[in-house]
Amino acid sequence: MQAGHKAEWQIPEPEVSPLGKKSFMSASATLKSSSAKSTGLVSNQAILLPYLVGVGAQIPMLLLYFRNLWAKPHYQFFPIALIALGVFAFMRWPRTEGALRQSWSSVGMLLLGLVCGIGAWLYMEPWFAMACLFALSASLLSMVIDRETDKSLVSISLLALICLTPPFGLDSRLITWLQQVSARVTTSQLDLVGYPHYMPGTVILAPGTSGFGIEEACSGVQSFFTLLFVAAFFIVFFRRPWFRSLLLLASVIFWAIFMNSLRIFAIPIAQYLFKWDLAHGLPHALLGYATLGLGILMVYSTDQFLLFLFGPTERFDGDESSSTGAISRFWNYVISGDAESQRKRRASSSPTQTNIMVMWGIVGVLGLAGLMTVVDVFRSLTQPEMKVRLFETDVEVPLAKDDLPESVMGDWQLVEYKYEERTRGSDLGRLSNTWTFLSPEPTAAERAAAPGEQLSRFVATFSFDQTFPGWHELTTCYKNQGWKINVRLRNTGKGEEGEKNWPFVTAQMSNSVGQYGFVVFSLFDSFGEAVDAPGDWNVVQWIIRGSTNRMRNRIRGSLFRAEAYQSQMFVTQYRPISPAMEEVIIEKYLEAREQARQQFLVRRKQEDGGATPAPTSTETAMRVN
For the stretch 440-493, pLDDT in tens is 877 776 666 666 666 677 889 999 998 887 788 888 888 877 788 999 988 876
Can you give the residue ranges of every domain in the chain?
Answer: 42-145+350-382, 169-310, 401-607
pLDDT band at 522 (very low <50, low <70, confident <90, very high): very high
Say if residue 307's pLDDT is above 50.
yes
Q: How far apart are the first and last CA of the chain?
A: 94
Say if residue 144's pLDDT is above 80.
yes
Distance in angstroms (rounded) separating the CA atoms of residues 307 and 285: 33
Q: Of the candidates 475, 480, 464, 490, which has an alpha carbon nearest to the alpha carbon of residue 564?
A: 464
Distance in angstroms (rounded) separating the CA atoms of residues 104 and 110: 10
Distance in angstroms (rounded) separating the CA atoms of residues 120 and 370: 9
pLDDT of residue 310: 85
Find out whether 183 and 218 touch, Cβ atoms under 8 Å.
Answer: yes
Can you tell me whether residue 461 is helix, strand or coil? strand
pLDDT band at 210 (very low <50, low <70, confident <90, very high): low
- Residue 179 neighbours by CB distance under 10 Å: 26
pLDDT of residue 162: 94
Mean of pLDDT values over 18-36: 45
- Residue 439 neighbours by CB distance under 10 Å: 21
pLDDT band at 509 (very low <50, low <70, confident <90, very high): very high
pLDDT of residue 236: 94
pLDDT of residue 86: 94
Distance in angstroms (rounded) separating the CA atoms of residues 103 and 176: 40
Distance in angstroms (rounded) separating the CA atoms of residues 304 and 289: 23
Per mean pLDDT, which of 215-224, 401-410, 491-500 is the most reliable? 401-410
User: Degrees (nearest 5) of the Cα angle 88, 94, 63?
Assistant: 40
Find out whether 168 and 179 touch, Cβ atoms under 8 Å.
Answer: no
Find out whether 236 and 156 touch, Cβ atoms under 8 Å.
Answer: yes
Positions of E strands within 79-208: none
Q: What is the dihedral of CA 213, 218, 222, 227, to 10 degrees?
A: 160
Distance in angstroms (rounded) separating the CA atoms of residues 437 and 177: 34
pLDDT of residue 328: 75
State pLDDT tens for residues 424-435.
666 677 889 999
Mean of pLDDT values over 612-622: 40
Say if residue 140's pLDDT is above 70.
yes
Q: What are phi and psi of 451, to 5 degrees?
A: -65, 140
- Residue 96 neighbours by CB distance under 10 Å: 8
Can you tell me whether residue 113 is helix, strand or coil? helix
Can you tell me whether residue 439 is helix, strand or coil? coil
Residues in the chain: 625
Q: Of the candidates 55, 56, 142, 54, which has an alpha carbon nearest to the alpha carbon of residue 360?
A: 54
Q: What single DSSP character describes residue 3?
A: T
Residues 6+ apart with CB under 8 A from 564: 467, 468, 469, 470, 471, 472, 523, 524, 525, 531, 625
Say if residue 124's pLDDT is above 90.
no
Among 64-73, 87-96, 541-550, 566-575, the minimum mean pLDDT is found in 541-550
107 backbone φψ class: left, alpha, beta (φ>0; ψ -120 to 50): alpha
Distance in angstroms (rounded) separating the CA atoms of residues 560 and 555: 11
pLDDT of residue 68: 82
Task: Return the exposure string of 381-408: e unless at least 16 CB atoms fall within 10 Å of the residue's CB, then b.
Answer: eeeeebebeeeebbbbbebeeebbeeee
Distance in angstroms (rounded) separating the CA atoms of residues 114 and 424: 36
Mean of pLDDT values over 375-404: 65
State pLDDT tens for residues 407-423.
778 888 888 899 988 76
Among 261-270, 535-544, 548-557, the minimum mean pLDDT is found in 548-557
What type of residue is 12? Answer: P
pTM score of the predicted model: 0.66
- Residue 500 neighbours by CB distance under 10 Å: 14
pLDDT of residue 569: 95
> Got the DSSP string for 546-569?
HHHHTTSGGGGGGTT--EEEEEEE
Say if residue 25's pLDDT is above 70.
no
pLDDT of residue 287: 86
Residues 6+ apart with CB under 8 A from 432: 418, 419, 420, 422, 463, 464, 465, 466
pLDDT of residue 550: 46
Distance in angstroms (rounded) separating the CA atoms of residues 603 and 369: 38
pLDDT of residue 619: 37
